[in-house]
Amino acid sequence: MNEQIEPQKTNRLVIWLFNPFQYLAGWQALIVGIIGIVAAALIGSIGNVHFDGVLDLHIGAEAPLWFFIAEGFIDWLSLAIVLLIAGLILKGISFRIIDIFGTQALSRWPMLFSAAVGMLPANQRVTEALMKMIQNPNQPPVLPIADTVVFAAAMIVILVMLVWMVAMMYRAYAVSCNLKGAKAIISFIVALLIAEAVSKLALWPLFLLANK
Amino acid sequence: MSNLPIQCPACKEQLKVKQLACENCRTQVEGLYELPLLMRLDTEEQAFLTDFIKCSGSLKDMAGLMKLSYPTVRNRLDEIIDKIKQFEKTVAKEAKEKDK
């Protein structure tokens, strides 16, 4: 085999971090991705970290494990389905559907780290204090400095993870559908906005079901 | 043996074959010959196509051989297909101009 086609080893780490789809797609990516979604839901259920939208993460109310898993699956499927439609419009049936679903599932791996950071007890305490402040605006919240620092650091990490996830989602879409340039970027942004709305709508019955 | 140059290093135009030689009897043939379509691809792309043929045209086998994902290999093949189509267009255009 021609070695020139293989990417240089020095670039491999960067590729694995931002474009693992160069090596992993289809069923393999789907299995690894679903493991990540379920693991993020498991960790999220411990610290009440909810993924209530394609790009959302909130520390919220207690809920059963199935609720966290369902949130993860709804987020993944909302974007994968919208991107599949976008791909079909732009490229016809020239790509494999399994690549879209597999690579999009794999793209959600950064959320696993976000869930781990989000479950820190300091975040719970700050969130509770902020909620109390919203309910009683006249009563100033009691926030230990250490908790505030941890909360601020966690928010930065979560933001970085979010950017990483969106970058991976875009690469996954571009590789799976073989799209490049402005066409790929514009269609991805539009699809992401639509998917965010779709996920919110799809999660609504879930909230109703959980509140019964 | 060094790689066959396909582009002019000065102006980047497509190079043509002017001379061919037999290593055995030293016979030399001179003229102006077009490079075949596949020879116009760079060495990396030619190697890709050779591997692809050896894999009986299976993208799945090719992905396994190259240790890359299926869509990555398919995208690379699509790029080569686009390039060959472009070459064909250029050749057809040149032939038309010659006929005029």
CB B18 within 8 A of CB B30: yes
- The answer to whether the CB atoms of A1 and B66 lie below 8 A apart is yes
CB B42 within 8 A of CB B33: no
Domain parsing of chain A, residue ranges: 24-211
Rounded CA separation A30/B70 (Å):
14
Quick check: is B72 in a domain? yes
The mean per-residue pLDDT over the stretch B20-42 comes to 92
Quick check: is B9 in a domain? no
Residue A6 per-residue DSSP state: S
pLDDT attached to residue B1: 65
Quick check: is B30 in a domain? no
Domain carrying residue B66: 37-99
What CATH number should be reported for the domain holding residue B92? Answer: 1.10.10
- In this prediction, what percent of chain A has a pLDDT beyond 70? 95
pTM of structure: 0.85
pLDDT attached to residue A4: 44
CB A26 within 8 A of CB B69: yes
CB A151 within 8 A of CB A126: yes
The mean per-residue pLDDT over the stretch A33-49 comes to 94
Instruction: Centre a 10 Å sphere on the Cβ of residue A79 and count the other Cβ atoms it contains.
Output: 28
CB A120 within 8 A of CB A44: no
Residues B83-100: pLDDT tens digits? 999 989 988 888 888 787
Based on the structure, what is the number of domains in chain B?
1
CB A90 within 8 A of CB A82: no
CB A79 within 8 A of CB A169: yes
Q: Between the CA of residue A135 and those of A124, A143, A144, A148, what are the distances in Å?
A: 17, 16, 19, 19
pLDDT tops 50 at residue A5: no
pLDDT attached to residue A114: 93
Q: Could you say which of A2, A4, A175 has the minimum Cβ distance to residue B71?
A: A175
Quick check: is B54 in a domain? yes
Nearest CA in chain B to A15: B68
Quick check: is B31 in a domain? no
Rounded CA separation B100/B88 (Å):
19
pLDDT attached to residue B72: 96
Quick check: is B48 in a domain? yes
Cα of B66 to nearest chain A Cα, Å = 7
Distance of CA A200 to the CA centre of its chain: 14
Quick check: is B24 in a domain? no
Residues B36-73: pLDDT tens digits? 888 889 889 999 999 999 999 999 999 999 999 999 99
Rounded CA separation B19/B28 (Å):
7
The dihedrals phi and psi of A95, each to the nearest 5 degrees, come to: -135, 165
Rounded CA separation B8/B14 (Å):
6
Interchain contact B54–A (C-beta under 8 A) = no
Chain B hits for A4, CB-CB cut-off 8 Å, are 43-44, 47
Task: Tell me: ipTM over 0.95.
Answer: no
Quick check: is B19 in a domain? no
- The answer to whether the CB atoms of A99 and B48 lie below 8 A apart is no
Residues A64-116: pLDDT tens digits? 999 999 999 999 999 999 999 999 999 998 899 999 999 999 999 999 999 99
